[in-house]
Structure 1
Amino acid sequence: MASITVRNLPDEVHRGLKQLAAQNNRSTEAEVRNILSTVVRQRTGGGLGTTLHKLWGNNLGEELKTQRSTDGLREVNFE
């Protein structure tokens, strides 16, 4: 995994990050990772669900429903 160093971060921004981290029960580093990941995902088109919706968004309806086969089913006796 890559690492980055952020220099000259204003004190109020650092304090705000620490507060957000505490509110979300995360370390400051984990909070920054979450913020960066969220912003990048939003700007680059989202995650897996967004990608699937873009590819097949209008084709997730009736045409994908299948009839469940009953072939090969047998009764089970639990006694």
Structure 2
Amino acid sequence: MATLTVRNLDDSVVRALRVRAAERGRSAEAEHREILREVLTSIRQPSSRAAAANRLAEFRHRTAGRTSATAAELLEESRQGRIADLTDGSGA
């Protein structure tokens, strides 16, 4: 196994590490290892990225061929609704 030395940490970070370790019944070194393991293994999970890509592909398949309003159309509809609200629906 490799050894890792971390220098120039703020005292508050070291203190927080020691508190967290004590709360979990570990040494500060063991807690440091666990934090690194948790963070780095969660980053390397291509399965979650692949799952998201699959869900997106399924959504695209389900909605293929559907048309939707353009942003300009939605904006105009919103504007007309606000005008109607401001003029009590009379349009004038």
TM-score, structure 1 normalization: 0.57
Is there any run of 5+ residues in structure 1 with no aligned partner, and where? 55-79
Percent identity, aligned pairs only, is 46
Quote the residue 1:19 is aligned against. 19
Residues matched between the structures, number = 49
Which consecutive unaligned segments of at least 5 residues does structure 2 have? Answer: 52-92
Cα drift, residue 27 of structure 1: 0.2
Corresponding residue for 1:33?
33
Aligned-residue CA RMSD (Å): 1.9
1: CA distance between counterparts of 2:14 and 2:38?
18
TM-score by length of 2: 0.49
Runs of 4+ in 1 over 6 A off after TM superposition: none
- What is the CA–CA distance in structure 1 between the aligned matches of 2:22 and 2:7, rounded to whole Å? 22
Higher relative contact order (CA 8 A, sep 6+): 1
Q: Which has the larger share of helix?
A: 2
Cα distance in 2, alignment partners of residues 2 and 25 from structure 1: 24
From the CA coordinates, give the structure whose radius of gyration is larger.
2
